[in-house]
Amino acid sequence: MKDATVDIVRQALAREIQPGEAVVLDLREVGFMDTSGLRYVLELTEKAAQDGFSLRLVRGPGPVQRVWSWPPSCTTRRVPWCPTVWIASILSAISAST
């Protein structure tokens, strides 16, 4: 996720997110994330708290996860990562419904 991609994701989520909803941002298919993507995810985390929707993140591959270690301040922020058990449950539910 970089500048151009962040704008696409931001616009799509702005149209779809409603108060009270549960939003899962799945980063497993993201091949690249720079500080723009990092900044947006942190903004989205704060927006979730302010606007009343829940947000969970699914960890991405190594290069995406490494961006979280860049600024030391990010390690002190609360990022709502989905536990691996939840991911398996979500995937099972999706498979069962299709």
Q: Using a pLDDT cut of 70, give the percent of the chain over it.
A: 66
Compute the C-alpha angle 44/30/96, nearest 5°: 90
Distance CA 18, CA 40 (A): 18
> What is the domain extent for residue 11?
3-97
Q: Which residue has the higher pLDDT, 71 or 65?
A: 65
Residue 76's pLDDT band, with cuts at 50, 70 and 90, is very low
Distance (Å) of CA 41 to CA 36, 44, 85, 91: 9, 5, 22, 22
**pLDDT digits 0-9 by tens, 41-63:** 888 888 888 999 988 888 888 88
| CATH number of the domain where residue 34 is located | 3.30.750
DSSP tag of 67:
G
More confident residue, 84 or 30: 30
Reported confidence tier of residue 92, pLDDT bands at 50, 70, 90 = low
Number of domains in the chain: 1
The Cα 37–Cα 67 span in angstroms is 9
Q: What is the pLDDT of residue 26?
A: 87
Would the pTM of this model clear 0.75, i.e. be above it? no
Q: What is the pLDDT of residues 34-45, one digit of tens each?
A: 888 888 888 888
Task: Give the other-Cβ count within 10 Å of 57's Cβ.
Answer: 17
